[in-house]
Amino acid sequence: MLNSNLKLNPKLFDKDVEMSATRSGYGTGLVELGEQDPNVVVLCADLTESTKSEEFSKKFPDRFFEVGVAEQNMAAIAAGLGISGKTAFISSYAAFSPGKNWETIRTTIIYNDSNVKIAGHHSGIMTGPDGATHQGTEDIASIRAWPNIKIFVPCDSIEAKKATIEAGKIKGPVYLRFTRDKSPVMTTEKTPFDLSKIQVHWTSAKPVVVIFGMGWLLYQALLAAKELESEGIEMLVANVSTIKPIDEKSIIELTQKTGAAVSLEDHQITGGLGGAIAEVLVRNKSVPMEFVGLQNTFGESGKPLELIKKYKMDKDAVIAAVKKVISRK
């Protein structure tokens, strides 16, 4: 059942569930943060509208910098601003930032512990019709090894707004990951928000597996849990919004309680959420684990729901992974 303590969306499983893109939460959060802190500045690489930086640019034109199609330049400028008392947000597609400007971010922002927030939009195959070149599917793997950085992946637009505002209050580099299309709004404004903790969205009395979900695909995990409950299979569904530093204590507690785990992410299974969880388990006490995500392949152009079905990242794939991991216990 849904965890009532978290005050989640009561219409979560209704046909008319509210839909909103996580990038929209970023745009709303930027404006609120700009109103709170005059030192917040935003830079964009010719994608102001797509990254939802437009409202900030209109409200605070003297604090917005359009650098054009020059992601490396954007990162270097932001690095200077970040060590000069500003809180800088750089906005582009994840495939381009941190994709195209990876080394510049590493050397000028991360190494100098500059106060820059990297907003990677259009992440995962959720990017849909833009195709494989624009679908950032290995961004987390490419930056998770960096020292000094924090990595946040909100599950919906409300959590995205909260994460954006929270990122602005943190000193040092932060990576925020957002998606293109609308997805179900799972949380509410009243849902407790703590980026340091994994939240269990689905609970049961005698769970035999825990699903660790990341981002918009968490909804597929909840759909799977609801269906499996009708079959008598009890489980937990955990929302992992912070990939680094990951909540090791909760991972250990939840896996020891259930004895098995499944990870679910719109990302390559190598180096992403599943990899981060597996690293925690092998250093402590391992349990059988299955990984649901992109299996060493690029995506393609298509509708998001069709793509996650083809690449076995939807509700049915989660159900299959749950049954497989239970058989391995």
Per-domain boundaries in the chain: 4-16+191-327, 19-184
| Cα–Cα distance, 113 to 291 (Å, whole number) | 33
Helices and strands (DSSP H and E) totals, the chain:
11, 14
Catalytic residue among 18, 71, 189, 231: 71
25-48 per-position pLDDT tens digit: 999 999 999 999 999 999 999 999
Q: Which CATH class is domain 19-184?
A: alpha beta
Q: Catalytic: 66?
A: no
- Stated pTM of the model: 0.97
pLDDT (average), residues 166-179:
98
Both tokens of 34, joined, read: 């700009």
Residue 173 confidence class, pLDDT cut points 50, 70, 90? very high
Topology agreement, domain 4-16+191-327 and domain 19-184: yes
> Average pLDDT of 91-105?
97
Q: What is the pLDDT of residue 267?
A: 98
Give the model's confidence band at 298: pLDDT under 50 very low, under 70 low, under 90 confident, else very high. very high
pLDDT band at 123 (very low <50, low <70, confident <90, very high): very high
pLDDT in tens, 61-77: 999 999 999 999 999 99
Task: Give 222's contacts (C-beta < 8 A, 6+ positions apart).
Answer: 2, 12, 13, 186, 201, 202, 213, 237
Nearest to 301 by CA among 134, 138, 96: 134
In order of 57, 73, 205, 283, the CA distances from 192 in angstroms are 30, 38, 22, 30
Q: What is residue 86's three-state secondary structure? A: coil
The whole-number average pLDDT for the span 242-269 is 98
Q: How far apart are CA 43 and CA 318, in angstroms?
A: 38
pLDDT for residue 140:
98
d(Cα 93, Cα 238) in Å, to the nearest integer? 27
Given this model, what pLDDT does residue 13 score? 97
Backbone angles phi, psi at 131, to 5 degrees: 85, 180
Per cent of the chain over pLDDT 70 is 100
**Average confidence (pLDDT) over 242-252:** 98
311, 295 Cβ separation under 8 angstroms? yes
Q: What is the mean pLDDT of the chain?
A: 97
User: CATH topology for 4-16+191-327?
Assistant: Rossmann fold (3.40.50)
In this prediction, residues 233-237 reach a mean pLDDT of 98
